[in-house]
Amino acid sequence: MEKRSYKAIAVTAACCAALFANSGRACTVPVFRYALEQWAPDCYQIVVYYDGALSEDDRATIDWLKARISDDKFPANLKVRIVDVSAAPAEAAPPPAKLPAIVVCYPMKGKNAPVVWSGPLNDNTARILVASPARRKVAERILGGDSAVWVLVESGDREKDDAAAAALQTQLEKLEKSLQAPQVSDDDMIAYGIAQTQSNIPMKVSFSLVRVSRADPDEEIFVQMLLRSESDLHEYADQPMAFPIFGRGRILYALVGRGINKANVEDTCGFIANPCSCLVKAQNPGIDLLMAADWDGAIKGELTVVEALPPLTGVMPFPAEQASAEPAAPLEPPIDAAERTLESSTLLRTAAIGGAAIIALVAAGSVFIVRSGKKRMDPDRGNR
């Protein structure tokens, strides 16, 4: 299989070095635990387009979506914007031809956010947008103590998919035994607000696998969130892809085809299970999923299960002022996901540990040449 190309990106770790300079020591909290307790998920933009008027059913569906934002049991990381195309200024991208419709955009800053999915506005769309069986399973396992849940998006080729799943499962079982979660110091428990003592979530190294079919209608939007998280994954539609998910539903990056191998899986799990080298979320690789789960409640020991979403009935009447056109704030710009993804855990750990050296390199305008997400197709990685 053809190797994926290299990309030169500048790596700046000044913030990490500054954190260590200020604290005088490295944080002992593992990445998966710090992310779970401290990294609030970014909000997806949900844009509802309609033309002139909305039916009562449409209004009820929109209200149900909005209610998920502040729901005590099922808070979802989303924002809802309503646009009447007959009265609103032109959007940066044209709305779907058939209205009313929902457009789902990634939570990225800028002018035009990359579109994840678009489709009709109805009850079923709203449900699979906010949650799906696979995402619920991911949340349950993380809240049950998994360091990360690997989601294998199947290619549709049974032989390839089964081989990828077997290789991944075998390696995960080995790493559960060989990797050990750092012993978090009492000082760090206080300094970083780690709630292990009051939480029901154990701090352990544990990985699991969830398989998802691209043809499953209940997982359609979830699959698109994964497949569009890097700009070129569509080029490998005939390959199985593995996505490690940790924290509050954060995708680290994709391993593709023969890139689902011992070296890559070991690097990835090592990064997730090792001490957090950079506490600033934005300086770490990855992108968040849209999920409905009470992460804060679970951390505080107030939640032990992930329940089903409430029915799409009994919602409050749709406010009249919301039915009118809202100012159409511009959507945010596409960002090459490869530029948000560093090569591997080795690079991240080295960047943090060698803080002083990195600052010197950054000051000199050094540019590290690393492989982007594209390297993860390379079956020979780790053998050179």
User: Do the beta carbons of residue 234 and residue 211 sit within 8 Å?
Assistant: no
The average confidence (pLDDT) of the chain is 76
pLDDT of residue 325: 34
Asked if the model's pLDDT at residue 356 lies above 50, the reply is no
Q: What angle is formed at CA 190 by the lines to CA 138 and CA 74, rounded to 5 degrees?
A: 30
pLDDT of residue 293: 93
Between 26 and 267, residue with greater pLDDT: 267
Give per-residue burial for 325-344: e unless 16+ CB within 10 Å, then b.
beebeebbebbebbebbbbb
What confidence tens digit (pLDDT) does each residue in 23-78 have? 444 567 889 988 998 899 999 999 999 999 999 999 999 999 999 999 988 899 99
Task: Give the residue carrying structure tokens 């934002």.
Answer: 69
Report, as an integer, the average pLDDT of 153-171: 98
SS3 of residue 175 by DSSP: helix
Cα–Cα distance for residue pair 136/131, rounded to 1 Å: 7
Phi, psi of 370 (to 5 degrees): -125, 165
What confidence tens digit (pLDDT) does each residue in 219-245 have? 999 999 999 999 999 999 999 999 999
Between 73 and 140, residue with greater pLDDT: 140
**Percent of the chain clearing pLDDT 90 (strictly above):** 53
pLDDT confidence band for 94 (50 / 70 / 90): confident
User: What DSSP state is assigned to residue 104?
Assistant: E
pLDDT of residue 259: 97
Work out the end-to-end distance of the chain between its first and last CA atoms, rounded to an integer number of angstroms: 17
Q: What angle is formed at CA 305 by the lines to CA 299 and CA 308, rounded to 5 degrees?
A: 125
